Amino acid sequence: MHHFQYQDNILYCENVPIPNIAAEVGTPFYLYSHATLKHHFLTFDSAFDGIDRLVCFSVKANNNIAILKLFASLGSGLDIVSGGELYKGLKAGFSADKIIYSGVGKRIDEIDFALKMGILMFNIESMEELEVINERAAILNKKASISFRVNPDVDPKTHPYISTGLKKNKFGINIEKAIEGYKRAKELQHIEIIGLDCHIGSQITEIKPFEDAIISLKSLYNELKNIDINIKYLDIGGGLGIPYSDESPPLPSDYAKAIKQHIKDIPVKLILEPGRVIVGNSGILVCKVLYRKSSEVKEFVIVDAGMNDLIRPSLYKAYHEIKPVIKNNNKEIVVDIVGPICETGDFLACDRKVADLKKGDLIAVMSSGAYGYAMCSNYCARLKLPELIVSGNQFHVIRTREIYEDLLKNELIPQFML
Q: Give catalytic residue positions.
A: 342
Among 148, 182, 244, 371, binds ligand LLP (CB under 6 A): 371
Nearest to 117 by CA among 148, 85, 149: 85
Among 61, 146, 310, 376, binds ligand LLP (CB under 6 A): 61
The nearest distance, CB 49 to ligand LLP, in angstroms, is 20
Alpha helices in 249-292 (DSSP H): 252-263, 276-279
Q: 220-257: buried (b, 16+ CB within 10 Å) or exposed (e) per residue?
A: bbeebeeeebebbbbbbbbbbbbebeeeebbebeebbe
The nearest distance, CB 395 to ligand LLP, in angstroms, is 25
The nearest distance, CB 202 to ligand LLP, in angstroms, is 3
Is residue 235 near ligand LLP by the rule CB under 6 A? Answer: no
Binding mask 312-351 for ligand LLP (x = CB under 6 A): x---x-----------------------------------
Residue placing its CB nearer to ligand LLP in the complex, 324 or 372 = 372
Binding mask 253-282 for ligand LLP (x = CB under 6 A): --------------------xxxxx-----
Is residue 42 near ligand LLP by the rule CB under 6 A? Answer: no
Residue placing its CB nearer to ligand LLP in the complex, 335 or 370 = 370
Residue placing its CB nearer to ligand LLP in the complex, 79 or 304 = 79
Per the DSSP assignment, residues forming a β-bridge with 31 are 284, 388
The region of 91-99, 132-140, 195-203, 283-291 touching ligand LLP under the rule CB under 6 A is: 195-203
Pairwise CA distance, residues 60 & 80, whole Å: 7
* Axis crossing angle, helix 178-187 with helix 208-226, rounded to the nearest 10: 50
The nearest distance, CB 392 to ligand LLP, in angstroms, is 27
Provide the strand spans (E) within 269-346: 269-272, 283-294, 299-303, 322-324, 332-338
The nearest distance, CB 233 to ligand LLP, in angstroms, is 14
Contact present, 151 and 173 (Cβ < 8 Å):
yes
Nearest to 372 by CA among 96, 27, 30: 30
Residue placing its CB nearer to ligand LLP in the complex, 162 or 229 = 162
Q: 370-406: buried (b, 16+ CB within 10 Å) or exposed (e) per residue?
A: bbbbbbbeeeeebebbbbbbbbeeebeebbebeeeee
The region of 196-204, 225-233, 299-307, 379-387 touching ligand LLP under the rule CB under 6 A is: 196-204
In degrees, rounded to 5, the angle at the alpha carbon of residue 107 between the alpha carbons of residues 119 and 111 is: 20
In the three-class reduction of DSSP (H, G, I as helix; E, B as strand; rest coil), residue 76 is classed as coil
Does the N-terminal peptide bond of residue 209 adopt cis geometry, omega within 30 degrees of 0?
Answer: no
The region of 197-205, 218-226, 290-298, 398-406 touching ligand LLP under the rule CB under 6 A is: 197-205
Give, as one character, the DSSP assignment of residue 240.
B
In the complex, the residues that contact ligand LLP under the rule CB under 6 A are 58, 60-61, 79, 102, 162, 199, 202-203, 237-240, 273-277, 312, 316, 370-371
